[in-house]
Structure 1
């Protein structure tokens, strides 16, 4: 579970892949930052900043919205006019939001794709990405199409068919070409979770844009895998005793549905959450939340959290409900679909894929079989049909043709259960034992961490 910083109001908690995209353990990953990054020169004002602004504004479709300072260097908030449909450029444009943190034109550039909206505040720590620290690099951060403010106005903004992997990759391709006229060093693409997937897709469709890609906890969910990796994960993660305890709590949440559903409904009223346009009823929303609980427990927790699991039979209703809401259970709602959750679930329903778990231990307690799937969380206008051809194509390309790609996964993270397999072309995969979705970098063994940083610096031509 994570909280996403958004520009939109009324942001709610969002499960699954919806994450801030900031790599955990920045200090550990970056080690000792370059001297220039530790004590930057004041270079954000005067002639240099004015020159970069002029060059940005000379790019057709680029607009400088605001200029601030980050560690003494200019941070430009920008918009860039992108075609709503790259196959039909004359059918209108939208303003894609991005930022450029500029240090020097000959330094490397980290091209950061959170996969969602950008943080609402330019002072957010994601504007000092760990890879940016390691390389003392410039940084471009780009908001995904149809997320946050990067959405077409009018009817085009309601046409979810244009929210595709291919269209976003084309956005990033145009943007990379435009900004490489200013930032002339090596470019490294990166992102975490859905952002890691986004960086991988960019590389697949436009392999000449970037000089390397570092994708963190990026799922590779293909039809051919049939969710076997996810099922195997839940059969082996942690200890047998911990898995049994978490499953028992999940089961008890359904056994005591009559007592616990009113608590769920009271929380919904307090938070202003409704379910009419998505689930259709609070009971259906409650069952979805319970089914998603075990996933959320491992995504954000570790083996240390096993000690907190209550005795399912002896815990009071309040204890059971409170623990569950603090350890993986999330309330999805109509209002959530209007934030980053909606576009994410739309992509999961159509191209990204979804983990279809079996829940044998809940047999006889489910009223809505099949409710745990992305279309349940979406209003009718946003629902879609899954097409696995994109996931299959990207998987095959990465394992056979991808070059200079690095994948970092977490051993105790369900999203890391189905992983990209890098090719033999200067590409690598690391798995951090015991780490969850938010902490893979800091848990890498020291020799693997040093190897990964060495590879990254080689790609970026940094000594």
Structure 2
């Protein structure tokens, strides 16, 4: 009976505030304020650290934002709450939520942080997903709905950010809803115009300049020797490969993609360790350390099949440098081999061309950061052609883990200044990331992207 009375009391209290704003204004506790948001379900509340309260939630979204009768799904979001009088960092990996911890911006500037899992990934998948509704417009609508809801509570400046696909997702959010946040920090975000974009090939053929010519040539030699010993090496491969068709396809794809992953996630110092004159076992183990065959198994590919669908319909991606391997190849290499079986795959670069035009003519208050040696830099976003406040900075010899804390000299000072202006805060410490020994969110995401070859 007591439980029933308590439940009815809660219903009366929150039901009395049909207007979310009035409900929020009447509450003082952050949890009570969040309970005023009708589409939010709180899953757990814990103390993350002395500074942050961690609140796990879901946000009810329609699968189709243009259809009010559409199937609904729950999108995972995680809040690290510090104080409603602090700015908000809106963060996404563009995939699942790989881990929960403050990102570098939240650390350095002492902000709140709201992480959003992308639709159709891990915990945010509709019961009966319509793949045609996995596109950048529907995703931006998701992010907009969440932003508008939580801005009723957090009224200080908002900045959004993400790395790789997360950086892409953050810019798409700005394309459709430019006023949702005051600034965007997009790390290592590419803008491709084909599923076989040739700009990546040119980059790989020239990365590092003359200083790394031998490294590039050694990689080609290693690829040749691996494929020449295909039959022997296939005996060492185990796993289920029904998505790609066979372990032979997986092996060939691994060999083809390895140089790209080497530059994307590696350290140029490893060039000296390429076992071009080593034993077959040494060559195979080096391949495994760069592009492990296990990453091509059904278990690994299924987890990110949503990404491959997006790449094959809208986002595009790189071609592969294979002219030196054609006499040894046995299989095709198409994005369709990685996408959901039975789903129609029609690629269009129309939206990416619109994003490019927007970046050149309308985008404002965006900071792009790239790694000098990262192959994805081949498809970097263009700067504004009309004098808008867009900035592009590079981490020297940087890879796909480039972010503002890894910049050097004037570039680093410039990045801190830009972000601080948006947040209306000074950095707590420009060396804070060095003082705090636990990894930041970007570090965790980088290691997982590296492991998963994303």
**TM-score computed with the length of structure 2 as normaliser:** 0.83
1:248 paired residue number: 221
1:165 paired residue number: 136
2:388 paired residue number: 425
1:138 paired residue number: 112
Contact 2:158/2:183, CA 8 A, preserved across alignment: yes
Q: Residue deviations 1:174-217, cap 9 Å, x none?
A: 00000000111000000000100000100000001011000000
1:332 aligns with 2:302: no
Looking at structure 1, the residues matched to 263 and 132 of structure 2 have their Cα atoms a distance apart, in angstroms, of: 33
Contact 2:193/2:317, CA 8 A, preserved across alignment: no
2:241 paired residue number: 275
2:280 paired residue number: 317
Q: Residue deviations 1:143-179, cap 9 Å, x none?
A: 00000110111xx22x211111111100000000000
C-alpha deviation, 1:228, in angstroms = 3.8
Looking at structure 2, the residues matched to 431 and 361 of structure 1 have their Cα atoms a distance apart, in angstroms, of: 31
1:218 paired residue number: 189
Looking at structure 2, the residues matched to 94 and 361 of structure 1 have their Cα atoms a distance apart, in angstroms, of: 47
* Aligned pairs for 1:65-84 within 5 A: 65-72=43-50, 73-84=52-63
Max Rg structure: 2
Question: 183, 186, 195: which is aligned to 2:166?
Answer: 195
C-alpha deviation, 1:382, in angstroms = 4.7
1:263 paired residue number: 236
SS of 1:171 mapped into structure 2: helix
Looking at structure 1, the residues matched to 132 and 297 of structure 2 have their Cα atoms a distance apart, in angstroms, of: 22
Looking at structure 2, the residues matched to 442 and 134 of structure 1 have their Cα atoms a distance apart, in angstroms, of: 9
SS of 1:71 mapped into structure 2: coil
C-alpha deviation, 1:383, in angstroms = 5.7
C-alpha deviation, 1:327, in angstroms = 2.1
Q: Residue deviations 1:51-79, cap 9 Å, x none?
A: 11111111111111000112223111010
1:29 paired residue number: none
Number of residue-to-residue matches in the alignment: 394
Question: 93, 96, 103: which is aligned to 2:72?
Answer: 93
Question: 415, 422, 425: which is aligned to 1:462?
Answer: 425
1:229 paired residue number: 199
Residues 308/440 of structure 1: CA separation in 2 closer, same or farther (3 Å cut): farther
Looking at structure 2, the residues matched to 242 and 282 of structure 1 have their Cα atoms a distance apart, in angstroms, of: 28
2:341 paired residue number: 380
2:262 paired residue number: 297
Contact 1:432/1:443, CA 8 A, preserved across alignment: yes
1:288 aligns with 2:259: no
Long gaps (5+) in structure 1: 1-47
C-alpha deviation, 1:440, in angstroms = 4.5
Residues 402/260 of structure 1: CA separation in 2 closer, same or farther (3 Å cut): same
Looking at structure 1, the residues matched to 59 and 361 of structure 2 have their Cα atoms a distance apart, in angstroms, of: 34
Contact 2:336/2:345, CA 8 A, preserved across alignment: yes
Cα RMSD of the aligned pairs, angstroms, is 1.8
Contact 2:256/2:320, CA 8 A, preserved across alignment: no
Residues 68/307 of structure 1: CA separation in 2 closer, same or farther (3 Å cut): same
C-alpha deviation, 1:442, in angstroms = 4.5
Contact 1:333/1:377, CA 8 A, preserved across alignment: no
Q: Residue deviations 1:412-459, cap 9 Å, x none?
A: 111121100131211100111201112444442221011111011101
C-alpha deviation, 1:227, in angstroms = 2.7
* Aligned pairs for 1:50-65 within 5 A: 51-65=29-43
SS of 1:325 mapped into structure 2: helix
* Aligned pairs for 1:353-364 within 5 A: 353-364=316-327
Q: Residue deviations 1:259-287, cap 9 Å, x none?
A: 111112xxx2xxxx3112x1122212221
